[in-house]
Amino acid sequence: MPRVLVCYYSKTGNTKKMAQLIARAAEESGVEVELMRAKDVKGKDFAKFDGIIIGSPTYFGVMAAEVKDLLDRSIACYGKLMGRAGGAFTSSGNLAGGNETTIMSILQALLIHGMVVQGDHQGSHYGPVAVGEPDKRAEEECLRYGERFAELAKKLMA
């Protein structure tokens, strides 16, 4: 059974709520999930997981410093994450407020780890986005994302 890490930084609780929904959906889809705050994750911890999903609020169109700090520390397992599943999500203050570029900033880091990321032809294409507190649309997006991510992690692990 693949092990998936869902880690996040959250100030207002919106990103945390998304993380919980994604974690729950992934778990129900048959992967083992660990839900952690970014600052509690050690850089070398990444190597323990078959899939890593990272959430951040949209701060100036790029992941928050707390999240980037975790990624910078993940240099400790550079070269060990090739081919594993990666994903990203964000909660944002307003529409077109930098949410897509925030997700892309996380995906870029995961790609540089040699990880594998998937988009979606429906909804928020690059990863789940909430505008303000997660509404019904955002919640469903998170649930669907967790499920789909679990499938990807299983496939890549096979």
Q: Pick from 29, 16, 24, 6: which is nearest to 85 by CA?
A: 6
Complex with its own copies: residue 35 or 104, whichever CB lies closer? 104
Q: Three-class SS of residue 52?
A: strand
- Smallest gap, in angstroms, from Cβ of residue 153 to its own copies? 12
* 40 phi and psi angles, rounded to 5 deg: -90, -10
Taken as a whole, the chain contains a residue count of: 158
Structure tokens at 50: 């078959």
C-beta of 23 vs 70, nearer to its own copies: 70
Binding mask 92-131 for its own copies (x = CB under 8 A): --xxxxxxxx--xx--xxxxxxxxxxxxxxxxxxx--x-x
Binding mask 47-66 for its own copies (x = CB under 8 A): ------------xxxxxxxx
| Nearest 10 degrees: Cα torsion 146, 144, 148, 133 | -40
- Least spacing, CB of residue 16 vs its own copies, in Å: 18
Minimum Å gap between C-beta 66 and its own copies is: 8
The answer to whether the CB of 86 falls within 8 A of the CB of 52 is yes
Q: Is 136 in the site for its own copies (CB under 8 A)?
A: no
Q: Which residues pair with 119 in a beta bridge?
A: none
CB of 71 to its own copies, least distance (A): 5
Q: Give me the amino acid identity at 80.
A: K
Per CB under 8 A, residues contacting its own copies are 59-66, 68-69, 71-72, 74-75, 78-79, 81-83, 94-101, 104-105, 108-126, 129, 131, 151-152, 155-156, 158
